[in-house]
Amino acid sequence: MSLPLLLSALMLLFSCASAPVQEMSDARQAIQAAREAGAQNGTQSSSLEKAEALLKEAELSLENGEYKKARLTAVQARDEALRAQKDLTQSSPSSAN
């Protein structure tokens, strides 16, 4: 492989690694929604706490330029927050109807 071709391929690869802005925003919104739904109380609080810890980890990765890790961790944070909301909905007395 020629050097110019290799350099072009590397530039293309690194240009695809952008900051996970949408994933971070999604995680923050899901955590806020879980808080507003009351997930910080009861058994759902462990999922919410885990989501918050994952978001902090994603923020650190983002600060360090580790965009892939930040993206994956932000998605995990969002999923944990959504799990907390789902658990809250399933355990609420009004959902028993």
- pLDDT of 34-71, one tens digit each? 999 887 777 678 899 999 999 999 999 999 999 999 99
> Residue 92 has what pLDDT?
67
pLDDT for position 66: 96
Contacts of 67 (CB under 8 A, 6+ apart): 17, 18, 19, 20, 61
Q: Which residue has the higher pLDDT, 65 or 90?
A: 65
Task: Decide if pLDDT at 96 tops 50.
Answer: no
Mean pLDDT of 3-8: 67
Rounded mean pLDDT, 6-22: 70
Q: Are residues 85 and 32 in contact, defined by beta-carbon separation less than 8 angstroms?
A: no
Query: Which has the closest alpha carbon to 82: 58, 52, 48, 41?
Result: 48
Taking phi over 0 as left and psi of -120 to 50 as alpha, with beta for the rest, 67 belongs to alpha
Rounded to 5°, angle at Cα 91 from 87 and 97? 125
